Amino acid sequence: MNGKSILVTGGTGSFGKQFCATILKHYKPKRLIIYSRDEFKQSEMAKEEVFQRTCMRFFLGDVRDAQRLQRAMNDVDIVVHAAALKQVPAAEYNPHEFIKTNIDGAVNVVEAALNTGVEKVVALSTDKAVNPINLYGATKLCSDKVFIAANSYSGSKNTRFSVVRYGNVIGSRGSVIPLFLEQKKKGALSITDSRMTRFFISLDEGVDFVIQCLESMVGGELFVPKISSCYILDIAKAIAPDSKIHEIGIRPGEKVHEVLIPRDESYITLEFGNHYLIQPIIKNWENGKHSSKGKPCSPDFAYSSNENQDWLSCEQLKPICRKVAKELAFEVDF
């Protein structure tokens, strides 16, 4: 990262801000460019002391705008694509908007990176993209395919594209922990299904993993970190052990359990120390770079939140939820 020009789409979001803060702490980039469409969020971010550096740039623009995106990528070495519309219910009601941002935006990022000669592009994905049953997941699956296939088009320009896929980020906007903290004030929490499990990763872990992938990628990989699972019911009990819990039923487009790697892709999946790597079906990459080091997964392997080997108990969740509560200025009494 030292001496490199780095652009982060959706840079004012939870991930983007943490990623930039981490880069500034550990590296010396030539330029660190925030590319996003919200001028207020950019102005607020620019006021924070950690971002008051001469290398920082704040570039207003939307990933839907191909021309503006290409302008922003001039002389950029590394792109982290974190911009997306993410709310599952909103996607069901506004499919056109999600397609424009999550799919058309992905195509625009690829085209701009190829046209300007960016060295490396990493796109963030989600467990919702695996065997999707909602529109948000479907758009992210399309986005993943766009980025992996882009390696076929780079030719002599040596632009390389990879994807990082992980689960829910603990305490991020729209996540269940802030919701339960708010509901606790009224003495009653609502969960959709008591059987429900989810993958969880902290913001710091997500950022560190993306940086690791940027350093090791050769192009065409889909990286999946090894992370913990938990029952949503255990989160509710950790936050509000004395509150009533109402089961309201699964919402449209929601799964009881999430999957990060389906059995259908086990035959192209390699296991490493702290992550898995799904190889591209199109053999246009340097296969030997990874296959000689990774361990092939068994044909019946699947990485799902309910079959995970790493679980967070109710007691382990309490300090995590306390940390989130303090960061969000909620009263901590559990």
Averaged confidence pLDDT in the chain: 93
pLDDT digits (tens, 9 = 90+) for 225-239: 999 999 999 999 999
The pLDDT, as a whole number, for residue 56 is 98
Confidence of residue 333 (pLDDT cuts 50, 70, 90): confident
Both tokens of 24, joined, read 């500034």
For residues 245 and 136, what is the distance between their CA atoms, to the nearest angstrom?
Answer: 28
pLDDT digits (tens, 9 = 90+) for 24-38: 999 999 999 999 999
Which member of 4, 128, 140, 184 is catalytic?
Answer: 128
The pLDDT, as a whole number, for residue 155 is 75
pLDDT digits (tens, 9 = 90+) for 88-133: 889 999 999 999 999 999 999 999 999 999 999 999 999 999 999 9
Both tokens of 47, joined, read 């006021």
Across the range 10-33, mean pLDDT stands at 97
For residues 185 and 253, what is the distance between their CA atoms, to the nearest angstrom?
Answer: 28
Across the range 291-314, mean pLDDT stands at 91
The pLDDT, as a whole number, for residue 189 is 95
pLDDT digits (tens, 9 = 90+) for 231-284: 999 999 999 999 999 999 988 888 999 999 999 999 999 999 999 999 998 766
The pLDDT, as a whole number, for residue 284 is 61
For domain 5-168+200-226+260-304, the question of CATH label 3.30.428.10 is answered with: no
φ, ψ (nearest 5 deg) of residue 164 = -115, 125
DSSP string covering 273-334: SSEEEEPPSS--S-THHHHTTSEEPPTT--EETTS-S-B--HHHHHHHHHHHHHHTT-----
The pLDDT, as a whole number, for residue 293 is 80
For residues 34 and 12, what is the distance between their CA atoms, to the nearest angstrom?
Answer: 7
Beta bridge partners of 57: 33
The pLDDT, as a whole number, for residue 27 is 97
User: Which residue is it, tokens 């490396």?
Assistant: 120
For residues 9 and 37, what is the distance between their CA atoms, to the nearest angstrom?
Answer: 9
Residue 208 has pLDDT above 70, yes or no: yes
184 is catalytic: no
Confidence of residue 291 (pLDDT cuts 50, 70, 90): low
Taking the domains of the chain in order of start, what are their residue ranges? 5-168+200-226+260-304
φ, ψ (nearest 5 deg) of residue 35 = -115, 110
Using an 8 Å Cβ cutoff, are 129 and 165 in contact? yes
For residues 206 and 168, what is the distance between their CA atoms, to the nearest angstrom?
Answer: 10
Using an 8 Å Cβ cutoff, are 201 and 166 in contact? yes
Confidence of residue 151 (pLDDT cuts 50, 70, 90): very high
Residue 185 has pLDDT above 70, yes or no: yes
The pLDDT, as a whole number, for residue 282 is 78
The pLDDT, as a whole number, for residue 251 is 84
